[in-house]
Structure 1
Amino acid sequence: MEAGGLARLDASGRLLFRHPLVRAAVLSTARRSELRAAHRQLAAGLDVDDPRRLVHEASAALVPDEDLAARLQEAGGRIARRGGAAEGALLLDRAAALSTEPAARARRLTWAAVMAAHGGRLRYTARLVEELRRGPVPPDAAPLFAYATVYVDQGHRVDFASSFTLLPEALDALAAPGAETFGGLAEQVCFKLLLAATYTDDARAWQALERHLDDMSPLARLCHRAWSDPARTAQGVSEELKALVAGMSEEQEAGGAWLLLWTASAVDLADDDLWRRFTGQHAYATQGSIAKARSYQDFLRGRWDAAGDCLREAEVADELGYHCNALLFRLAYAHFAAGRGDEDELRMVDGLIRPVAVRARMRYATDRLTHLTALAALAHGRHEDAYCDLVSLTPPGVLPRGLPWFQLPFLDFVDAAVHTGRRAEARAHVAAGRAARMAEISAHHAFLLAAATALAAPDDEADAAYRAAYQVPGADQWVFELARLRLAHGSWLRRHRRAEAHDVLREAHRAFQGLRARPWEERCARELRAAGHAVGPTASGHALLTGQELRIAELAATGLTNKEIAQRLRLSPRTVAAHLYKIFPKLGITTRAALAQALRHD
């Protein structure tokens, strides 16, 4: 081989192949006896405690070997505890294959499935779970099997049915006196059950969680409080979460990462430091949760140029088998489309999400889509349409338990009610928010309550109420909602104190331009003109593009062909070409080569 230039020895005596395919060809043509001999030789050259030696010993083994299986299991657990869960899973899988007893094999394979799940190897976890289903799982490993099964069902299959049967039984078993803890498995089971409860509002999940509240950690109980009935239970959660995080060790943070992130999302906690704590430290299982939390915060805080990231994250999630994450990233994208009033884009993403969510009885997604449809209608001034959608979610003066993110449609309901002449209903809703001490949940909740109060206020109190809303600490964080408040205030000023309307409406107009929320921008422009102020063109060519057109333009600007863009966006090349035909005149260009320059200028 060396004479033919296929391989050579370097200065240290190490054999190097000219190309990886040459190495693969050598391995594929070698006899099994030769491969086992090579593994034995490699094992002999490594320290006894080196995990690589165990891997080579396992590859050289001809028959089941309980001693070797036990050593592989110990090494796999050690690696997983140091953050290498995916690598630990491979060792446990091999340990299972070398086990001499069926029960020991099943236990090790179950551990491998759990480690693979934590290591972000969801497809691998699914394969291991299917293998386990073909034989009996020992009763003492049942909680592990339940957790692995539900992990696959929720994340890969977007199916929550097993959550309501397997997880309550697992919690019962883990809470029994003297029961094996499986390294704090109860915390992860609680989290998965809480997800299922929040996503579906299934009574069985909530009842099981409430039955085990006393067995939960302080963090798990806080997360339950944040999501179970937030209008009545989430007051003070933001401050308590910050205090909990401040007192946690790095190891505790790592173990509770999902619960921390999920709790923060429940109360709209905009804490960049919290995301930084976990960035780069965990596998996709955690990194995906961080990305979802960031997407939501990007929407709330006006970072709408990040909208396209949601669709890219959805593609990554689908490729890794995390189909529930992909659905949730598309749902995050739907928020940006609705905020911009881009109803074509919203219908497109609704068509991707709703069928899956309906099959899974995932109210968390279907109810949000209903809310976002209403938000888009508000952008276009169709207040009656918006009201009809919103009242189906949150009746006047009622903050339902089954709407865990009740704060999001709160302001929209009041807005729609006021504009359709239902001021009494709007004030009843504001009164319900005040009675629920909504302002004590988070800074965002406090601002939404103050903004809704201003919208519903009688004329003799309105100006003071608007100004009070501006003074809520951190009000400028909520860029879109603050711009909407200024539009409403500017409209009121135009009717009552015309001279004072200009500055308020200009601020709103500028914010909507930055967000590329064209319908809202046009409404501001109309108010400004009605107040006697000149307004330039309401939108640049860039802002005139729909969300779909903007994505196609950005991809085309990178040099991708129509076919490549179509594959990326799951469209036909003909549809891409049709969009480009509309995009060029909007941007004032005639060639594809001018796209990048036009997008930069806008």
Structure 2
Amino acid sequence: MRKGMLVGRDAQILALSALLDRAIAQAGGAVILRGEAGIGKTALLAHASTLATARGMRAVGVCGVQAEVHIPYAGLHRLFRSLRRDAPAPAVEIESPYRAAMVLLDQLGTRHQRVLVAVDDAQWLDRGSWEALTFAARRIGSDPVAMVLTIRDGEEVDRLLAQAGLPELRLEPLSPVDAGVLLASVAPDLSRPLRERVLEQSAGIPLGLVELGSVAATSGDARLLPSWLPLSTRVERTFAAIVAELPTATRALLLVAALDDGDDVDEILAASSRFEGCPVTVDDVGPAVATRLVQVDDWHRLRFRHPLLRSALYQSAGTAQRRRVHAALADVVVADSDRHVWHRAAAAAGPDEALARELTGLAARAGHRQASGAALAAFQRAVLLSGDAAERGRRLLAAAEVAAEQGDITTARQLLDDVVDEHLRPVDRAWLSYLREGLLITGWSGAARLPVYAGLIDALRRDGDGQRAMNALAAMSLRFYWSNPPPETIQAFLTVADNFDTLTDDPRMIATVGLIAPVERGAVTLEQMTRLLIRFDLTPTEQHVLGVSASGIGALDLSAQFLTAATAGVRAQGRVGALAQVLTSQAFAAAFLGNTRVAVPAAVEAAELAAETGQPAWALTARLIHGHARALTGDTAAARKAADHGESVLLPNARLPMLALVQVVRGVEALADGRPADAYRQLYRIFDADDVAYHPYLRFVAFGHLAEAAAWAGKENALRAIVPPLTRVAGECGSPALVTTLRYAGAVLAGRAEAFGTALAADLSSWPFERARLQQAYGAWLRRQRRAAESRPLLRSAAETFDALGAVPWADRARAELRASGESLRRPVDPADTLTLQEQQIARLAAQGLSNREIAERLFLSPRTITTHLYRIFPKLGIKSRGELSQALTGKFSDGR
């Protein structure tokens, strides 16, 4: 029958065979088998396993179970057991779905045998397992691994697949001819009228053809239901009729198994005995196995032949009966506190505030383990059990936040729609307003509602919920930075922050205050952050917020140090969603420091990870920063594309202050392209308080480019008008970026050797791009003064620095000035330019002495993939061993120009 169900699937079998062959050739990959219930996905997956075994591959698999969707990493734990032949082995400790993906890749990549990972009913995997498996699936390109996942059609599935980004192989209903062939193999002796009825009712769905054909063959048309019923309903009722003929004890254990979130036979029998009030033994499983309704493997795990059988059992049981089953399961799994709570919740007949509080705690624990799917399910069940209207509202808000973190904006909006505003406490009512705006329900309000949020945070603090208040203040600070709030709003938030007497030494508070008031509190924040730099007990989260705050004040050198540490820490934790944010921040600091060697790969990885983890706002920011970095390299086409895309998203959503990032990209692109007047026009919008792209704090880090554009375009008078107010701001906040670039502006406006000498005498060791920009300006001035010999060392140094940073147009201009002085300097060839971005990352980490496994952990790849990349890197660099990497990457070679 299994073979028969593959009628009409030649194209799909060919595609799966090709996937397996590529895996054998160490070019692994993954595919999604997609289609409606009963279309034959499971049969095709089983056939793929047979094909894999015939090729000498090992086939391991796992099946999603609807009852387990609330158990963090339940599916992945079962897959790990399948990978271990000596199961039951201890469960793998999972910190996050992405760390779990790395454990899976490591286990698959270090085996000598080629592997097929077969995942059935993936739509019913818990969210953590789904994210881990799809994350791993996108990273098995150099491993002898194939992954095939089956998934049932549905609206939720569309969203999941869009985020997964995996190729799909769709299964459609069989053609009339193929349907007839399949039916003939199942029920060859049907009368013509009965055959036509089965074909019509099955509509080309293989499961319908097999099950309804079998019923028709044994019972005629007596048990064929009306065709207006959905096929799934007809098949479910067919299964229910089969179950109804089984002994009472067997029916009981099947119902318990259908509602159980585990698959252990002993557990199912124990709960069945409680449910029935008499012993149910392993002998009672026999009739279900004999009728092929279930299978029991060598490790006493029970699996249903088809998911619709679970549905049939569920539908056939009444509400009271299902509650009794869950009560029995709760008694059996009492040692597992989380499962115990879940089954008690499912057994509850009405509101139970105490149980709702337990579920809320369970949701919080799941959230800490980055099991957002389990957290959302727990919050939603807690909402249904809530006896307190205000607590119900708060749980709805929490559930909406979790759904939004998953990237499921539709569910988040639905949950917020269920909130009854008048039932909320005043604090939660304000938080509802914040969530509605943040989820694009009411639109972006800019700074208008910020005072309301200040009151919300202060009310939380006064109510004794200091930690939640601190979290809210920290979350608000970045939003605050991009809102251009008026002075009175800034002061209101500072007053709220100052009321946190017990948290004044909290690194997050220091960073938050710096973002809220970069001018008013900038100097004191810089002093505090400089002291924190030598602390060894900072968490990656604290390092990240400190790095963001330092960038906001313009302490880019300080920011780079915090963010480098944060990146390493977050990678080690496997928090990929957070890593996307940290890398975006790191790319921001590096781009404004002119360091394209760090900015480009960080921005590319950040954009990819942000898209993978459902963070569109961070993905957009990373793309804009990538455009900025590409402009510095001279890739003006990529820069213009990034700017156009950013503007197309930001303008319609009224995210106007963030347009400053677009103007940076356009301004730097114009500078790189030799259009200084256009560069000045684009950049000046950031400095014009009447422009929608105005940003008072981005001026700190963009002023160097504006000053260069003004000097090059002959707009010295316009620059002179800008310098005094910025000098006053720099005096108040001490922004290092602004102080440094004001020295440059002062020197080019003065046009005297003494002014250039004074500017260069400052400590610019942390500002190589700005030092090179100043050297180039001074060298060009000296050449025009016919002091060519004095200009050459400055121009040579500037060109070499720009080359090292990857700022090609700036380096070319320095070389042009040098040629005009009578000396030529060829452009060096960077060996890394022959490598892809990922190869560059791998090569540089290998050159630092990291092992393949350590590199794999940092880049979320398998060790085998790292090995494969290194084999490709060596010939590109003209080397033969790992020991030559460092010299190859730092060596200077000429391209003859």
> Could you tell me the TM-score, scaled by structure 2's length?
0.52
Work out the CA distance in 2 between the residues paired with 1:450 and 1:193: 34
Q: Does 1:290 align with 2:577?
A: no
CA 135–72 in structure 1, closer or farther in 2 if over 3 Å, else same: closer
Do 1:490 and 1:504's aligned partners in 2 also have CA atoms closer than 8 Å?
yes
Give CA deviations for 1:319-357 in whole Å, capped at 9, x if unaligned: 544222122111211211222233321221112111221
Work out the CA distance in 1 between the residues paired with 2:685 and 2:432: 36
- Residue 418 of structure 1 aligns with an amino acid whose one-letter code is A
Give CA deviations for 1:117-160 in whole Å, capped at 9, x if unaligned: 6xx32426x62443232341455445345436534643677942
> How many residues align structurally?
540
Q: Does 1:337 align with 2:625?
A: no
Aligned pairs for 1:32-181 (under 5 A) are: 32=315, 33=317, 39-47=326-334, 50-61=337-348, 63-77=350-364, 80=367, 87-100=374-387, 102-114=389-401, 120-123=405-408, 127-144=411-428, 146-147=430-431, 150-151=434-435, 153-154=437-438, 159-161=443-445, 164-165=448-449, 168-176=451-459, 179-181=462-464
Candidates 550, 555, 559, aligned match of 1:264: 550
Aligned pairs for 1:418-433 (under 5 A) are: 418-426=711-719, 429-433=722-726
Work out the CA distance in 2 between the residues paired with 1:53 and 1:153: 37
Q: Does 1:185 align with 2:473?
A: no
Worse-superposed segment, 326-335 or 234-243: 234-243
Equivalent residue, structure 1, for 2:226: none
Work out the CA distance in 2 between the residues paired with 1:528 and 1:365: 38
Give CA deviations for 1:92-136 in whole Å, capped at 9, x if unaligned: 22111223455443332223334556xx32426x62443232341
Equivalent residue, structure 2, for 1:15: 301
Equivalent residue, structure 2, for 1:518: 808
Q: Counterpart of 2:482 in 1: which secondary structure?
A: helix
Larger of the two Rg values belongs to structure: 2
Work out the CA distance in 1 between the residues paired with 2:371 and 2:532: 26
Equivalent residue, structure 1, for 2:748: 455
Equivalent residue, structure 1, for 2:774: 485
CA 72–270 in structure 1, closer or farther in 2 if over 3 Å, else same: same
Q: Counterpart of 1:344 in 2: which secondary structure?
A: helix
- Residue 581 of structure 2 aligns with an amino acid whose one-letter code is S
Work out the CA distance in 2 between the residues paired with 1:198 and 1:473: 28
CA 553–210 in structure 1, closer or farther in 2 if over 3 Å, else same: closer
Work out the CA distance in 2 between the residues paired with 1:177 and 1:407: 34
Do 1:174 and 1:186's aligned partners in 2 also have CA atoms closer than 8 Å?
yes
Work out the CA distance in 1 between the residues paired with 2:533 and 2:376: 29
1:91 positional shift = 1.9
Aligned pairs for 1:531-550 (under 5 A) are: 531-536=821-826
List gaps (5 residues or longer) in structure 1: 555-594
Q: Does 1:230 align with 2:518?
A: yes
Equivalent residue, structure 1, for 2:493: 209
Do 2:650 and 2:656's aligned partners in 1 also have CA atoms closer than 8 Å?
yes
Q: Counterpart of 2:686 in 1: which secondary structure?
A: coil
Aligned pairs for 1:386-465 (under 5 A) are: 386-394=679-687, 402-426=695-719, 429-437=722-730, 441=734, 443-465=736-758
Work out the CA distance in 1 between the residues paired with 2:528 and 2:731: 16
Equivalent residue, structure 1, for 2:529: 241
Work out the CA distance in 2 between the residues paired with 1:288 and 1:145: 31
Work out the CA distance in 2 between the residues paired with 1:411 and 1:144: 44
1:522 positional shift = 2.4
Worse-superposed segment, 370-379 or 304-313: 304-313
Worse-superposed segment, 95-104 or 211-220: 211-220
1:423 positional shift = 3.8
Work out the CA distance in 2 between the residues paired with 1:244 and 1:464: 33
Equivalent residue, structure 1, for 2:93: none
Do 1:122 and 1:156's aligned partners in 2 also have CA atoms closer than 8 Å?
no
1:70 positional shift = 3.2
Do 1:516 and 1:543's aligned partners in 2 also have CA atoms closer than 8 Å?
no
Work out the CA distance in 1 between the residues paired with 2:436 and 2:337: 32
Do 2:748 and 2:777's aligned partners in 1 also have CA atoms closer than 8 Å?
yes
Equivalent residue, structure 2, for 1:507: 797
- Residue 504 of structure 1 aligns with an amino acid whose one-letter code is L
Do 1:443 and 1:473's aligned partners in 2 also have CA atoms closer than 8 Å?
no
Do 1:107 and 1:138's aligned partners in 2 also have CA atoms closer than 8 Å?
no
Higher helix share: 1
Give CA deviations for 1:139-191 in whole Å, capped at 9, x if unaligned: 544534543653464367794228743x5335425535995344533333334
Do 1:311 and 1:329's aligned partners in 2 also have CA atoms closer than 8 Å?
yes
Q: Does 1:195 align with 2:478?
A: yes
Work out the CA distance in 2 between the residues paired with 1:38 and 1:93: 21
Do 1:457 and 1:465's aligned partners in 2 also have CA atoms closer than 8 Å?
no
Work out the CA distance in 2 between the residues paired with 1:70 and 1:552: 46
CA 342–424 in structure 1, closer or farther in 2 if over 3 Å, else same: same
Work out the CA distance in 2 between the residues paired with 1:188 and 1:363: 25
CA 287–139 in structure 1, closer or farther in 2 if over 3 Å, else same: farther
Do 1:77 and 1:88's aligned partners in 2 also have CA atoms closer than 8 Å?
yes
Do 1:96 and 1:108's aligned partners in 2 also have CA atoms closer than 8 Å?
yes
CA 105–80 in structure 1, closer or farther in 2 if over 3 Å, else same: same
CA 516–177 in structure 1, closer or farther in 2 if over 3 Å, else same: closer
Give CA deviations for 1:12-36 in whole Å, capped at 9, x if unaligned: xx4065xxx9575654443254876
Give CA deviations for 1:234-270 in whole Å, capped at 9, x if unaligned: 22422213446878987xx688677544323313222
Equivalent residue, structure 1, for 2:618: 325
CA 232–597 in structure 1, closer or farther in 2 if over 3 Å, else same: same
Do 1:308 and 1:551's aligned partners in 2 also have CA atoms closer than 8 Å?
yes
List gaps (5 residues or longer) in structure 2: 1-287, 841-871, 879-894
Worse-superposed segment, 94-103 or 211-220: 211-220
CA 316–142 in structure 1, closer or farther in 2 if over 3 Å, else same: farther
Work out the CA distance in 1 between the residues paired with 2:540 and 2:295: 44
Work out the CA distance in 2 between the residues paired with 1:236 and 1:96: 45
1:308 positional shift = 4.7
Equivalent residue, structure 1, for 2:314: 31
Q: Does 1:378 align with 2:671?
A: yes
Give CA deviations for 1:183-238 in whole Å, capped at 9, x if unaligned: 53333333444433322324485465356354355367744653456355422422
Do 2:401 and 2:412's aligned partners in 1 also have CA atoms closer than 8 Å?
no
Work out the CA distance in 1 between the residues paired with 2:716 and 2:738: 21
Give CA deviations for 1:507-537 in whole Å, capped at 9, x if unaligned: 3333433444332232123122212223446
Do 2:657 and 2:695's aligned partners in 1 also have CA atoms closer than 8 Å?
no
- Residue 632 of structure 2 aligns with an amino acid whose one-letter code is G
